[in-house]
Amino acid sequence: MINPRRILTAGGTFACALGVGFIMQNAASSEPVATEVSMGGMIAAAPVQAVKDNFTQVSGGSGPIPEQEFRGKLTGITLTSASIPTPPKMGPQPKRLPANPVNGAQIAKAALTDQTILDLPPEEPAPAFSCDITMNAKALVAAMAEVTVNAPCLVNERFTLHHSGMMFTEVTDSKGNSRMIVPGLSPNAVFMASFPNGEAAMASVSLDALEFYERAVIQWQGDSGLQLHALEYGAGYDDPGHVWADAAGDFEQMARGNRGVLTRLGAKDVPNARLAEVYTFPSGAAQKPGDIHLSVEAEITSANCGRDITAQSLEVRNGGTLRARDLELAMPACDATGDFLVLKNMLNDLKIARK
């Protein structure tokens, strides 16, 4: 802050100087004059009164000018100041914190006391859904097996059923299920279903009645046009003893020991499917002795003409050892479409003894 005494002194000094000069120039005038003095923003306004006293102006001489004494009086000096900006009012301030510290432990304890904590409801388990493939096999009459496959995540999916070297293609339904009736080729029958994605399942069953039956199998893949024919007791083609796909026989007659039956396996409508035909004769319950001629025929069609086909035959006698034989055949040109090739050595004839 500026000292008022220093302002007064400075104001008086400047006032005196201005007064002296004014008197020297206007000695004859005795009117008071208002003089403004500005100093660093501080302004002094005062009437100045000149008093004529013993004052002599010396001029034209040489030597030092004698000191002149001025006796005057300054009156009516008023101090003023420039306008000082007023600082803005203080804005709203946050409330002061309490003097005593807050105890966090007490707050936690109060929360636990004031609020009731309820037990959360138990979480209900989500319904289980398994993609596991399950498979079962059950023994039936005539050494047959009922084989079922359940693959809930593989609906309408093709798979291959394997049993003692025999293979054929099947397809699951809209729920992933499949049911098959399969002639057994081994007393301790093992079945396996394999899917294209590499998943598989197995099942087994005992077929002790296999020793009373003779079985012959022909199997192939694709449109090979192969057929298995059995001519029983000297029957000719289309006679009652001619057993093949279009005259498969009757299980009731087989149970009585009179006739054999043919079982066709595989989904023939699936592209490039594996198919099989199995002929079964009840040698252990045969009513008469005799011979049964077995043959494999290949029809020449537009699908197989002019190319090579492959096939395999399987035979089991009275539950004994399984015998296999492979076939590779060059089919005639397509101008022979509709004709048949007879393959006599693929299967051995059956000789039925008297019981």
> How many structural domains comprise the chain?
3
- Look at residues 210, 237, 252 and tell me which one is the last residue of a structural domain: 210
CB 279 within 8 A of CB 230: yes
Q: Give a yes or no: residue 322 inside a domain.
A: yes
Instruction: Provide the residue type at 81 as one letter.
Output: S
Give me the CATH number covering residue 152: 2.60.40.10
Are 205 and 218 contained in the same domain? no
Position 116 scores a pLDDT of 60
Cα–Cα distance for residue pair 243/295, rounded to 1 Å: 11
Are 279 and 220 contained in the same domain? yes
Q: Which pLDDT tens digit goes with each residue over 153-183?
A: 999 999 999 999 999 999 999 999 999 999 9
Give me the sheet containing 214-221, strands edge to edge: 261-265, 274-281, 214-221, 308-317, 322-330
- In this prediction, residues 59-66 reach a mean pLDDT of 47
242: pLDDT strictly greater than 50 = yes
Q: Give a yes or no: residue 147 inside a domain.
A: yes
- More confident position, 319 or 164: 164
Give me the percent of the chain exceeding a pLDDT of 70: 65
Are 224 and 303 contained in the same domain? yes
Are 224 and 313 contained in the same domain? yes
Q: Is the dihedral of CA 251, 257, 258, 261 positive or negative?
A: positive
Are 35 and 169 contained in the same domain? no
- In this prediction, residues 24-38 reach a mean pLDDT of 46
Spatial neighbors of 243 by CB under 8 A, at least 6 apart, are: 229, 230, 232, 249, 259, 260, 261, 262, 279
Domain that includes residue 137, residue range: 131-210
CB 153 within 8 A of CB 176: yes
Q: Give a yes or no: residue 284 inside a domain.
A: yes
Are 342 and 267 contained in the same domain? yes
Are 183 and 271 contained in the same domain? no
Residue 345 DSSP one-character state? T
- Look at residues 9, 30, 54 and tell me which one is the last residue of a structural domain: 54
Q: How confident is the model at residue 37 (pLDDT cuts 50, 70, 90)?
A: very low
Position 60 scores a pLDDT of 45
